[in-house]
Amino acid sequence: MSNGVINVLLVGVGGQGTILAGRVLSLAALSLGGEVKVSDIHGMAQRGGSVVTQVRFGPRVYAPVMAPGTADFLVAFEKLEARRWLPYLKLDGWLIVNDQEMPPLPVLTGAGTYPEDLVGEMGRLVNNMLALDALELARRAGNVKSANMVLMGALARRLPISREAWEEALAVSVPGRFLEVNRKAFYLGWDQNG
């Protein structure tokens, strides 16, 4: 954290709910009373391309985009995306990674191979890491599509934002018929220790 600003980088691929997660985080962060800035990049997201959301919040935030080596938290919805964006994480930052593989197009066409033991490799490169099976936890909550909220719950436990603010952000961001499942997923993530 520099100047009281917290930098959170959310990375995944199209369809994983990265942008919704960023919205929940940014709304919850507003409860702290400072500034919140968000940047979304989602080129070719509907075809499984990368989706990146940067959320920065604190007393005074001058830009929505962070520089490499400045993320306090890197929350990765997919392992290969985690490895690709790892240079953005600070030395003492937290990597929260979903232990899920979503092979990119070169792997699907046979032009490349999906790297082995990415979680093990990243565990050797970072000081603070939580790897979890967000899909399984979301399945337990009632819908695999709520894996993004499992990851938000794991992140939330490490941020100075109240439970009430998270609850309110969820209620505003998630359609009512999916709210209970997403709330369950959020707290299953919250309960994960790393």
- Write the pLDDT tens digit of every residue in 79-121: 999 999 999 999 999 999 999 888 887 888 898 899 999 999 9
Structural domains for the chain: 6-191 (3.40.920.10)
Q: 78: which DSSP letter?
A: S
> Alpha-carbon distance 43 to 172, whole Å?
26
Q: Which helix or strand (DSSP H or E) is residue 105 part of?
A: helix 105-108
**Residues 45, 13: contact at Cβ < 8 Å?**
yes
* SS3 category, 39: strand
* SS3 category, 34: coil
At 87, phi and psi to the nearest 5? -60, -15
CA distances from 21 to 1, 4, 41, 152 (A): 21, 22, 14, 7
pLDDT of amino acid 46: 59
pLDDT tens digits in sequence order for the chain, 194 residues long: 557 999 999 999 887 888 999 999 999 999 999 999 999 887 665 566 788 999 999 999 999 999 999 999 999 999 999 999 999 999 999 999 999 888 887 888 898 899 999 999 999 999 999 999 999 999 999 999 999 999 999 999 999 999 999 999 999 999 999 999 999 999 999 999 76
**Residues 137, 100: contact at Cβ < 8 Å?**
no
